[in-house]
Structure 1
């Protein structure tokens, strides 16, 4: 796991085994982001996974290629030196990773957009708590709504700083993310839905009505005009964090 300016390697062997065992990876193409020194990589390989490891730090690549030379030559491990936010990634079925703190949000959004069977991911505790914050609560934000729209999130494990070397200044949570087979509420235009959530939460202190009026450059004046005319006052007077998943769906489908 990485902090914004440091590398914090998972050093707790029991935690490594638990994380690798939280989902069945046997004969699965498993994406690992930020393998670091490869302790989780090895645990996944032992469980029969075919691992695609994406590592941003180029100084770690020679080490990983040396340690896992056999697994690479057999085709069980592919190492990519790149940024998981934007680099090309081969097809995968599951994700098991200790995500970089600083890129957690962007990577999570990319994974949800790409699609997967199941993901076991480690986050900074406060980030994971925002992810599971219920709609209508003060901690609810763009992350909460986007993740909960498309997936179910279950906390699995909490780890303190002592589980890492060197220890970070924060606690960490491991969560399981399982995409929904069917959305709880229908969405006509998924890009528009994401755009509306983004613009509303960028104006989270304003009412929905004011937030929409401030977003003509993104949503377009005609669309905003339609929204303001068809949405009930009950929704327009709320702030974004007060809206339910159904209400976000209603706003998007009304546009």
Structure 2
């Protein structure tokens, strides 16, 4: 597959840009495993993000009912049409995945552009789908499954945990790509699920998670004080009044805990306390 990829790039005079995260998967066995991990069936409509020159697209097309292949780079889209245009079940969308209004789909299989991994993941968490098999930079994948108290634990961990179960499938060597990235990658499977704990207001929960992790090494009372405006957008209080309000709302055991040590469930408790008084 490497030789075929190089020939396609040469013939179409395409130079891949490492700084733009344009790394094509050239390991055929790995691509087969990605499709197998997704358990594709003839009933599935599959979204592929960053379809590139179609190394993965054609494999998905052979197993799925339909492929929605999104690619921003028009040079790649031209090659993509050349390679998979004969498949009647492939729709190619040229555009920025972060700006597109996505059509309905059941599954996602994608080698994500690493530079927008976070934004794409948050966007997917707002969609209705059954499963996603995604290629991430290994460090990013480790953040998805990080435990409270660890360096990788943060907003991403909590928000994805609330929406989906996360499974680290395998580590991927740089040699699986062309050009080879300087970092290892990882395949991850996301399965949307019912939230594992009750949240009164998901908007407040999202605001609280963002506010807390801006000060992840501080205690909850200090983190909320410093990011007060992120949660209480309509309250114009003096500094002393902010402190009093925070102390009044939350129990001491939560106020005294460091943000980085909070489980997602405990952060949910904080959000629910704040939801009850947030105007």
- TM bracket, shorter-chain basis: over 0.9
**Rounded Cα–Cα distance in structure 1 between residues aligned with 2:211 and 2:21:** 32
Shift, 1:238, TM fit:
1.8
**Rounded Cα–Cα distance in structure 2 between residues aligned with 1:2 and 1:253:** 45
**Rounded Cα–Cα distance in structure 2 between residues aligned with 1:146 and 1:206:** 20
Structure 2 residue aligned with 1:61, among 63, 71, 77? 77
TM-score (ref. length: structure 2): 0.85
Which residue number corresponds to residue 187 of structure 1? 199
Compute the RMSD of aligned alpha carbons.
Answer: 1.9
Question: Does the 8 Å CA contact 1:227/1:254 hold for their aligned counterparts?
Answer: no
Which residue number corresponds to residue 103 of structure 1? 116
Provide, for residues 156-199 of structure 1, a one-character-per-residue CA deviation record: whole Å limited to 9, x for no partner: 1211110111110000100111111x321101111111111011
Paired residues for 1:167-206 under 5 Å: 167-180=180-193, 182-206=194-218
Which residue number corresponds to residue 24 of structure 2? 9
Structure 1 residue aligned with 2:223, among 211, 221, 242? 211
- SS of the equivalent of 1:113 reads coil
Provide, for residues 106-153 of structure 1, a one-character-per-residue CA deviation record: whole Å limited to 9, x for no partner: 100010112311110010001000110023433211111111111111
Cα pair distance change 1:228/1:78, threshold 3 Å: farther
User: Any unmatched runs of 5+ in structure 2?
Assistant: 1-15, 275-279
Which residue number corresponds to residue 45 of structure 1? 61
Shift, 1:4, TM fit:
4.1
The structure with the largest alpha-carbon Rg is: 2
Which residue number corresponds to residue 243 of structure 1? 262
Paired residues for 1:85-96 under 5 Å: 85-96=98-109
- SS of the equivalent of 1:114 reads coil
Q: Structure 1 stretches (4+) deviating beyond 3 angstroms?
A: 1-4, 221-228
Question: Does the 8 Å CA contact 2:143/2:153 hold for their aligned counterparts?
Answer: yes
Question: Does the 8 Å CA contact 2:171/2:187 hold for their aligned counterparts?
Answer: yes
Structure 2 residue aligned with 1:119, among 132, 136, 148? 132
Cα pair distance change 1:28/1:222, threshold 3 Å: farther
Shift, 1:208, TM fit:
1.2
Question: Does the 8 Å CA contact 2:18/2:179 hold for their aligned counterparts?
Answer: no
**Rounded Cα–Cα distance in structure 2 between residues aligned with 1:175 and 1:43:** 19
**Rounded Cα–Cα distance in structure 1 between residues aligned with 2:120 and 2:24:** 19
Provide, for residues 206-232 of structure 1, a one-character-per-residue CA deviation record: whole Å limited to 9, x for no partner: 221111112232222389665531211
**Rounded Cα–Cα distance in structure 2 between residues aligned with 1:167 and 1:232:** 51
Structure 2 residue aligned with 1:228, among 221, 234, 247? 247
